[in-house]
Amino acid sequence: MPPETTFLGETGQLVRAVGRAMGVTLRNLFRTPVTVQYPTVKRVYPDRFRGILALVYDKETGEEACIGCRLCEYICPPQVIKVEMLKAEKRNFARTFTLELYSCEFCELCVQVCPTDAIIMLKTFDLATADRRELLLDKDRLHALGLEHEPSWATGNRLRDMQAPPKPAKTEAKPEAKAGGKDAREPAE
């Protein structure tokens, strides 16, 4: 819009601009506020929400899913996980499993590498506390959290299947080969 040069023209332009700006504000006065009144109202978290971490039990056997392989400990960028393995006859367990949630980056790499889908993230973040020691989660606390809250979609196998390139020359058409457009929430076998 070419700048006006006459006094009246400039004034008219200014008045119109002022009116436009105030009109936008007035229009917003009558829109519904976008505030979500947390904690009485919680918004809906998407399926892949990366919340706090937890350990789960195996669905079939009911045992702890964690085999103490320490892959999550090695991959964690800020090194907040510390695991000690407990060897047993049929399979290994984790003797201790500590996770320093106050330093956790929530990058989901530990979930990504877990071979048994033992460590997952939950759809909640609300663990606020006044004492940082409560955020040093030990194995019991992690299992308790896993039972309390709703888990997110992501587990190790699901993530790796979503990311894997198609396996060459398989007879059955794997659904992961066509990664686009499919409902990525269906778990692999």
Partner 1 sequence: MSELAGQALTGFIVLNVVIGLVTYVTLLERKFAARMQSRIGPYYVGWPHGWLQPIADALKLMMKEDVVPTLADRWVYNLAPIVFLLPCILIFATLPFAPGLGVADLNIGVLFFLAVSSLEIVGLFMGGWGSNNKYALLSAMRAVNQIISYDLPFIFAALVPVVLAGSLQMSVIVEAQAGLWYVLYPGLGQLAFLLFLIATLAAENRVPFDILEAESELVAGFRVEYSGMKFALIQLGEYAHMIGTSFLGALLFLGGWLGPGPAWLGPLWFLLKAMLIFLVVTWVRWSFVRIRVDHILAISWKLLLPATIVLLMATAFVVAWRGAGAA
Partner 2 sequence: MDTEARRVVEMGYGGNERLVMNMGPQHPSAHGVFRAILTLEGETVVAVDAVIGYLHRCHEKLAETLTYVQYPSIASKTDYVSAMTAELAYVAAVEKVGKIDVPRRAQYLRVLVAELQRIASHCLWLGTWCLDMGGALGGGATIFLYAIRERELVLDLFEALTGARLLYGFHQVGGVRYDLPAGWAEQCRRTVDLIEQRLDEYEAMLERNAFFLVRTQGVGVISRELALDLGVCGPLIRGSGVAYDVRRTEPYSSYEAFDFTVPVETAGDCFARYRVRMVEFRESIKIVRQALDGLPEGPISSRPGVKSVGQVRIPKGEGYTRVEGARGEIGCHLVADGGAKPYRLKWRGASFCNLAVLPHIIPGHKVADVVAIMGSVDPVFGEVDR
* Interface contacts to partner 1, rule CB under 8 A: 18, 21-22, 24-26, 28-29, 31-35, 37
99 torsion bin: left (phi>0), alpha (psi -120 to 50), beta (else): beta
Running DSSP on this structure, what letter comes out for residue 133?
G
Q: Which two tokens stand for residue 189?
A: 């076998």
Q: Which range touches partner 2 (CB under 8 A), out of 72-80, 81-89, 90-98, 139-147?
A: 72-80
Cα–Cα distance, 105 to 125 (Å, whole number): 13
Residue nearer to partner 2 on the CB measure, 32 or 171: 32
- β partners of residue 98: 82
DSSP codes of every residue in 55-79: E-B-TTT-SB------HHHHH-TT-
Question: Interface with partner 2 includes 1 (CB under 8 A)?
Answer: yes
Decide which of partner 2, partner 1, none touches 26; Cβ closer than 5 to 8 Å per partner kind: partner 1
The verdict on 184 binding partner 2 (CB under 8 A) reads yes
Q: Which residues bind partner 2 (CB under 8 A)?
A: 1, 10, 13-14, 16-18, 20-21, 23-25, 27-28, 34, 45-50, 71, 74-75, 77, 105-109, 112-113, 115, 121, 152, 154, 159-166, 177-181, 183-185
